[in-house]
Structure 1
């Protein structure tokens, strides 16, 4: 690994040009945690980067179905390096429950960015979240999860339903103090690793559709210490090989109802909102790693008689990477700030909670597009070797492919966006936040974003429900982009004002980036990334930690 990566062995926090500005805008207390971020940046660019590649290529999780005595255990065997790292990464989930902030949790996720390693923590975090809010009687299990002594999972997907939770068929039958589950889950991330899973199921007699689905907490072992469910098999995946995913069978599995059965669908949507924010920072983190790989290669590789970074076309692509990642970070952490304000709410929710949902949908859908595009562009900047699995950039592009799909594809995000905009009334606070900001900036690009946002909201309201759905994905993209322009301006630096103008021209006006950007290194070669030396591990000399 260390010989095929430019970004390996570097502190990914030290090289970060945008996140400090974003945190300064949305989390006033972040500087008290800068040492922690610095330490985590070393881990993300070092051991986590190395282990992720090792697992991907040589040490995928293996399902062990039986113990020495022939008893079913359905447990995965992991690389010892991944086992150790998983426990260390559990710190990601502790911040919101130890008097800190969701901003720190998601900053860690952005710096880590590996979908497999981060997925293990996000599904564990969603389990912690459900216990913390709606099943406090299981606080000891929550503490195990937070300390890395156990892992959680969110098992909702069934083969006939996919993202349609209303199609769930797993049955829940009460039996004294517990419930029994019958059925199967088709795609269960964490299968074989999970100790406590939150599972959607339909209580007997519940109405059809999503409002008849309840949420249950299912331990791996029942009260007698016996295996509580079976893992039918693990699935082969194109990406995210560090997290085992498989099919799970419930045949009278012991389960505990979380909260109130009739509110189950709302609890599920809460955990999905949390996961969608994680998906957004993960997509952007992959994009940043791709940018680091491509930028450092452009600084060190010569073609046609000069360094790659001296070629205008390469500078144009590096500009594109900078614009997309900075914009995505600004939008995502605005959504995180909204979540921070609303996450303790319970049904029935206030408008503030529905507004947080709206921003999460916009961030998830748009950053998934940016992430896949940026990693693909990073591969292209490597040339032919970018498609060779020996090089780190190939894995980043492959893993980014999952981000538009996990936690609901763009179609689902678009439908949910329409619901919160108009049925839940989030269109008004959205307009009230961003239209005045854009008007106050007063630049031509800000006026462009103002017009796009205003016209899109007005147009959607003139459409029939069917027509609105037909146009929803493009409308979602426009709303996200207009808000992004405002948020980039709001960061207050000269560089981010330039990025805001570039973003508006390219994504709202559909123009090519203006040529002045090629002569502005602060745009495509951000401070902190500039002229980074070739690491010792690339020049063949020994380096600590390699």
Structure 2
């Protein structure tokens, strides 16, 4: 019997292997990877989790105090646009990139004859975010830029693609995405940057101002601009690659200043004036917004994966502190209120990770099918679960369904997990007491870094409106309804019956809500969009957790039956769909006290030891 982790043996949430201590991530990776991918990935993720938990985590605190600095001009007043990085940041970059965080999802890594799915990149970003969400931003944009060039680049841009996907630090270039302009913000169609063809230079020249440019000195920067006579709005935008330098010379742009940010110090974010900067058209003219949307899907998933990793770190710090901090004669994890808080934080972590990793799986299914269609890999190479079995026609059909569902789930995953990261980091600070508020302790940085996660890649309002677009344009409710129904139908264990009944009732109400909004006017639909976004997250997450709980209760050749996830699913469902009188105060509920060890410490639970009463009792 597995008694779980004794967090009292740890001094803090570092100098440990983050992969080894995160059984939530381990389980989800096993679920979304094909067997051959999982077998190959485990030793890689073990090594990566160890490096992040030791060197990268220590360096991240130094970088937070001594971050990048911008030198716009040299002593002679010439523009140099030079960003100076601390040695610890350069060490982190070399370690992380050379362990394949980007490369292995685009080019076959050592020991394999095909790339890993893009979900592997997201899993590694999750682990990296245990140490530094700020550094994860350049990693995410590097992967995003590589994805765009893979889809839309031509031979002239091949060298940039090779640099973005390099496993060797010396030949690596990083990516960036310059979207935001002062007058536009989330309204990308208001972009005023212009592009004109320069016959002499054999490239375009960009003029304009970009207001919030993260990873400002990236060599693989993508930017949107409007060519002459292009229509207004997003339809008239084209995408360009704007290098930091060309042939050793600084490109014609000015890095005006770095933003004085609350957190994410590791990524230099600044203002850029494009002063006739040389740029290369990516894909077709006036197709830039559509192309950028492909990158944005991955960026939003990266944001969600980073949020889950930060939640995992905040939870770990809280577990360790609660197991070591004594008050009134006992460690504080022995007190009922703290047990309840840690249980609910752990359940939030499970929920956020389950939802995000399912969205990542769907994203990978779609991208793998596109690689097959382009001829980048063969159908036989397309192992991603069973997504590409059954021939090209079935693969195409499944990829289409995966796309429609992921278009719904991706903005929801980003919206919910970003807010959950802020809430979890805030309470983790409280558990540390006064020390948590002090910059010497990591929860201070976790909260500062978390605050940007609801903002990057679209605020919750913007994302909620995107959910409405996915429902209207992709009819995403159809694969969503099928996905929930399929999961609930496979759950048959008696321990889960009460929870299934609750979720089925909520699912019925959600489908009614979807039908109602489909017939209402636009104003009312937008008014309810955020509530709908939360409702979809809750119902879908409940279905995924119940399916995972069913699988865990059944056991397999390598795992004994375990009821821990049945407890997690039940707690999540009770909290999200609670209609108990007096807000549960009179219910006699002792769940957090009775089930603390399995949920917080990952102790195994014999199914026969549990008996659930109906949720309505």
Normalized against structure 2, the TM-score is what? 0.81
Q: Residue deviations 1:175-228, cap 9 Å, x none?
A: 23311111010000011x311200011122111111211111111124683433
Write the distance in 1 (CA, Å) between the matches of 2:162 and 2:534. Answer: 39
Please tell me whether the aligned partners of residues 224 and 240 of structure 2 are also in contact (alpha carbons under 8 angstroms).
Answer: yes
Q: CA deviation at 1:403?
A: 0.7
> Structure 2 matches for 1:285-296, cutoff 5 A?
285-296=309-320
Aligned pairs for 1:153-192 (under 5 A) are 153-176=176-199, 177-191=202-216
Counterparts of 1:78 and 1:451, CA distance in 2: 54
Is there any run of 5+ residues in structure 2 with no aligned partner, and where?
Answer: 1-9, 108-114, 375-395, 553-562, 605-617
Residue in structure 1 matched with residue 279 of structure 2 by the alignment: 255
Is 1:504 the equivalent of 2:573? yes
TM superposition shift of 1:440:
4.2
> What is the CA–CA distance in structure 2 between the aligned matches of 1:437 and 1:351, rounded to whole Å?
16
3-state SS, counterpart of residue 198 of structure 1: strand
Q: What is the aligned partner in structure 2 of residue 406 from structure 1?
A: 456
Q: CA deviation at 1:489?
A: 1.6
Cα distance change on mapping 1:437 and 1:6 into 2, 3 Å = same
TM-score (normalised: structure 1): 0.92
Give yes or no for contact 1:286–1:396 (8 Å, CA) kept in 2.
yes
Range with bigger deviation, 295-304 or 505-514: 505-514
Pairwise mapping of residues 273-284 of structure 1 onto structure 2 (< 5 A)? 273-284=297-308
2: CA distance between counterparts of 1:471 and 1:436?
A: 27
2:361 to 334, 337, 353: 337
Q: Is 2:490 the counterpart of 1:484?
A: no
Residues 223, 242 of structure 2: 8 Å contact kept: yes
Contact 1:343–1:353 (CA under 8 A) maintained in structure 2: no
Q: What CA deviation, in whole Å up to 9, does each residue of 1:494-533 have, x standing for no partner?
A: 212211111111123266784223211344423389xxxx
Largest Rg, 1 or 2: 2
Alignment match, 1:535 = none
Higher mean C-alpha deviation, range 144-153 or range 73-82:
144-153
CA shift, 1:130, in A, is: 1.4
Aligned residue for 1:188, secondary structure, equals strand
Q: CA deviation at 1:286?
A: 0.7
Alpha-carbon deviations, 1:137-167, whole Å to 9, x = none?
A: 2222222222343222111111111111111
Structure 2: how far apart are the matches of 1:358 and 1:236?
34
The match for 2:532 is 475
Once residues 142 and 68 of structure 1 are traced to their aligned partners in structure 2, the CA distance between those partners, rounded to angstroms, is: 34
Which of 125, 128, 136 pairs up with 1:112?
Answer: 128
Residue matched to 2:393: none
Q: Give per-residue Cα distances to partners, 1:251-292, cap 9 Å, x unaligned.
A: 111111110123211111111110000000101111110111
Q: CA deviation at 1:241?
A: 0.5
SS at 1:92's partner residue?
A: coil
Distance in structure 2 (CA, Å) of the matches to 1:486 and 1:522:
24
- Whether contact under 8 Å (1:283, 1:403) holds in the other structure is yes
Q: Could you tell me how far 1:370 is from its partner in structure 2?
A: 1.6
In the other structure, the counterpart of 2:90 is 83
Alignment equivalent of 2:602, drawn from 512, 521, 527: 527
- Residue 272 of structure 2 aligns to a residue whose secondary structure is strand
Match of 1:534 in 2: none
- 2:64 is aligned, of 36, 48, 56, to 56
Look up the SS of the partner of 1:262 in the other structure.
coil
Report how far residue 404 of structure 1 moved: 0.6
- Residue 228 of structure 1 is matched in structure 2 by 252
Secondary structure of 2:333 counterpart: helix
Contact 1:64 1:73 survives alignment (8 Å): yes
1:466 and 2:520 equivalent?
Answer: no
The equivalent residue for 2:24 is: 18
Higher deviation after alignment, 497-506 or 214-223? 214-223
Worse-matched range after superposition: 506-515 or 107-116: 506-515
Classify 1:44/1:298 alpha carbon distance in 2 versus 1 (closer, same or farther; 3 Å).
Answer: same
Please state whether the residue corresponding to 2:278 is helix, strand or coil. strand
Matched-pair contact (CA < 8 Å) for 1:214–1:264: yes
C-alpha displacement of 1:426: 0.6
**What's the CA shift for 1:83?**
1.1
The answer to whether the 8 Å contact 1:239/1:399 transfers is: yes
2-structure distance, mates of 1:447, 1:139: 54
Q: Cα 1:184–1:145, aligned 2, differ >3 Å: closer, same or farther?
A: same
* Equivalent-residue separation in structure 2 for 1:5 and 1:248 (angstroms): 43
Aligned residues: 524
- Where does structure 1 lack aligned partners over 5 or more consecutive residues? 530-546
Number of the residue aligned with 1:391: 441
Contact residue 15 and residue 528 of structure 1 kept, 8 A: no
Q: How many angstroms does 1:383 deviate by?
A: 1.9
- 1:308-319 mapped onto 2 (5 Å cutoff): 308-319=332-343
Task: Supply the distance in 2 between the matched residues of 1:60 and 1:435 (Cα, whole angstroms).
Answer: 49
Which residue of structure 2 lines up, in the alignment, with residue 416 of structure 1?
A: 466
**1:330: Cα distance to partner?**
0.7
Q: Is 1:45 matched up with 2:53?
A: yes
Q: Which residue of 2 aligns with 1:142?
A: 161
CA distance in 1 between partners of 2:21 and 2:603 (Å): 5
The separation in 1 between residues aligned to 2:316 and 2:248, in whole angstroms, is 51
